[in-house]
Amino acid sequence: MNKNEVPSIFETFGDARKQGFIAVKNLKDQGKKVVGVFCTYSPVEIILAAGAVSVGICAFSDETIAEAEKVLPKNLCPLIKSSYGFAVTEKCPYMYFADLVVGETTCDGKKKMYELLSEIKNVHVMQLPQTQEDEVSKDLWYKEVLLLKDRIEKDFGITITDEDIKKAIRLKNEERKLLKEFYELSKSCPPPITGAEQLKVLYGSQFKFDIEQKNKELRDTIDKVKTDYANGIENVSNDAKRILITGCPLAGVTEKIVTAIEASGGVVVAYENCIGVKPADRLVDEEGDPYKALAERYLNIGCSVMTPNNKRMELITSLVKEFNVDGVVEMTLQACHTYNIETNTVRELLQKQDIPFITVETDYSTSDVAQLKTRMAAFIEMIS
Partner 1 sequence: MKKYFAGIDSGSTMCKSVLFDGETILDINTVKTGWNPKLSSAESLGVLLERNNISKNDVYVSTTGYGREAVDFADYSFTEITCHAYGGIYLIPNIQGIIDIGGQDSKVIEIKNGKVVNFFMNDKCAAGTGRFLSMASETLDIDLKDIDAFSDLSDPVSINSMCTVFAESEIIGLLAMQSDRSKIMAGVLYSIAKKIQQQSSKLDFSEDMPLLMTGGLTISKALIDTIATTIGHEVITHKYALHAGAIGACICANKQLRK
CA 232 – CA 281 distance, rounded (Å) = 29
Region binding partner 1 by CB under 8 A among candidate stretches 55-63, 78-86, 207-215, 366-374: 366-374
Closest to partner 1 by CB, 61 or 137: 61
Q: Which of 1, 71, 233, 382 binds partner 1 (CB under 8 A)?
A: 382
Under rule CB under 8 A, residue 370 binds partner 1: yes
Under rule CB under 8 A, residue 371 binds partner 1: yes
Under rule CB under 8 A, residue 360 binds partner 1: yes
Which residues in 294-353 contact partner 1 (CB under 8 A)?
Answer: 347
Under rule CB under 8 A, residue 189 binds partner 1: no
Closest to partner 1 by CB, 64 or 362: 362
How far is the first Cα of the chain from the last one, in angstroms, to the nearest whole number?
A: 55
DSSP secondary structure of 173-220:
HHHHHHHHHHHGGGGSSS-SS-HHHHHHHHHHGGG---HHHHHHHHHH
Instruction: Give the C-alpha distances (Å, rounded to integers) separating 350 from 88, 175, 344.
Output: 41, 31, 10
Q: Which of 65, 108, 362, 364 binds partner 1 (CB under 8 A)?
A: 362
Under rule CB under 8 A, residue 9 binds partner 1: no
Q: Give every CB contact of residue 174 below 8 A, 6+ residues apart in sequence.
A: 215
Nearest of 54, 100, 103, 106 to residue 83 by alpha carbon: 103
170 close to 285: Cβ distance less than 8 angstroms: no
Q: How far is the CB of 368 from partner 1 (least distance, A)?
A: 4
Region binding partner 1 by CB under 8 A among candidate stretches 51-59, 222-230, 265-273, 370-378: 370-378
For 246, phi then psi, to 5°, come to -140, 170
- How are beta strands 123-126 and 100-104 bridged, if at all? parallel
Q: How far is the CB of 377 from partner 1 (least distance, A)?
A: 5
Q: How far is the CB of 362 from partner 1 (least distance, A)?
A: 7
CA 265 – CA 282 distance, rounded (Å) = 32
Under rule CB under 8 A, residue 71 binds partner 1: no
Longest dimension (CA), the chain: 60
Under rule CB under 8 A, residue 108 binds partner 1: no
Q: How far is the CB of 71 from partner 1 (least distance, A)?
A: 23
- Residues binding partner 1 (CB under 8 A): 347, 356, 360-362, 367-368, 370-371, 374-375, 377-378, 381-382
